[in-house]
Amino acid sequence: MSKVSNMTSSNGNKVANQFIVFESEATYFQSYQTVIAKTCFEDGERKIFLDADSWDYSVTTSNTAISFWALIQRKQSAVSKPVKSS
C-alpha cells in the first residue's frame, strides 16, 4: 500500500504538486505526474536515482529534489548513528 504526502518547504509549508510517495520497497519524489527521484536499498546500501531529464525541470522541482535528497540523507544518518550503551 502506498502512502503519499506533500513535500514541505523550509518554512514548513506544503509545496504544491510536490509529493513523497512511500511504498514498501522504495520511496519516490514526484512532481505533478512525473517521478523525479527514487530511493531504495540495493545490496544493503541506500541508492538514490534521479531522472536525468526531469529533476531540474524548474527551479521549484530542482530545489524540492535537493530537499528530498537531504531528507533521505538525514533519515539515513539518524538510523545509522551509533547508540551509546548504558
Q: Where are the domains of the chain?
A: 3-80
Quote the mean pLDDT of the chain.
Answer: 83
**Cell numbers 551509546 label which residue?**
84
Lowest mean pLDDT among 31-45, 48-62, 68-82: 68-82
- In this prediction the pTM is 0.75
Q: pLDDT tens across 58-75, in order?
A: 888 888 888 888 888 877
